[in-house]
Amino acid sequence: MKPLLEARGVSKSYGAFHALEGVSIEVREGELLSLVGQNGAGKTTLVNLLTGLMAPTKGEIFFLGSNIAGVSAVALAERGLARAFQPIAIFPKLTVGQTISAAIVSRQGKRWRVLSRLCADQAVAGSVRHIAEIFGLEHRLDVVSEGLSQGEKKLLDAASAFALEPQVILLDEPTSGVATADKYRIMDTLIEAARKSGVKSIMLVEHDMDLVAAYSDRIIALAEGRVLADLPPDAFFADPAVVETVVGKRRAC
């Protein structure tokens, strides 16, 4: 089976500085792939390349079998590749309902109208309610986004990405800044949302190794702009040298 998203020999340089060198990865259907590495390892650069925010210096990137060189992030989202950002990328003065509506209208290619009218559109309103229910936000639709808890803001940001009906979604540290007690609840919500929304694969960029161990089907580790490891969780955490390189110390069993 062909990978849904693939980087082949991708490099990214800024003058003499090489942020990535010869990176090849695959995101396969039906998996949650975690991308890990210390700060400066190249994770953000790779995700920016995969989602069309920048172009590689060398190498190729394919999505659904097509070379996506030069394809913008907006066009990629329309094709089915979405990203939930870190930090949170929501509009603080919009309500939850308006935020989700904006994503749905963007997906449908409708012309922008006054946001209060968007929510009155019955087709859009039905989709908004459905997505809000998936993320447990159905009782918060009229709440202005800046009034949400940090965990709710994270879920709203993800809900906006899921509203684009992606085939592949990239989650950039979806639980950062959230209380430890809420991290697993948020991850469970995101995975269930992916199942209900028909998302085929999730790529998770994460520093929290407990979450990586609990949810990953496969783990790719970057170090100094190169792929250090591409392993299932058991093999990854059984290799003390890899774990120490990624987290800076040996992970306790």
User: Of 169, 192, 215, which is closest to residue 51 (Cα–Cα)?
Assistant: 169
- By CB neighbour count within 10 A (0-12 exposed, 13-18 middle, 19+ buried), where does 189 fall? buried
Query: pLDDT value at position 116?
Result: 47
What average pLDDT score do residues 76-97 get?
Answer: 80
- Band of pLDDT at residue 17, cut at 50, 70 and 90: very high
User: Of 175, 165, 170, 157, which is closest to residue 94 (Cα–Cα)?
Assistant: 157
The pLDDT tens digits of the residues spanning 95-149 come to 999 899 888 877 655 444 545 454 556 778 888 999 999 999 999 999 999 899 8
- By CB neighbour count within 10 A (0-12 exposed, 13-18 middle, 19+ buried), where does 230 fall? middle
Lowest mean pLDDT among 30-34, 113-117, 214-218: 113-117
Between CA 155 and CA 23 the distance in angstroms is 31
Hey, what domains does the chain have and what are their CATH numbers?
5-247 (3.40.50.300)
Report the relative pairing of strands 168-172 and 201-205 from DSSP bridges: parallel
DSSP state of 95: B
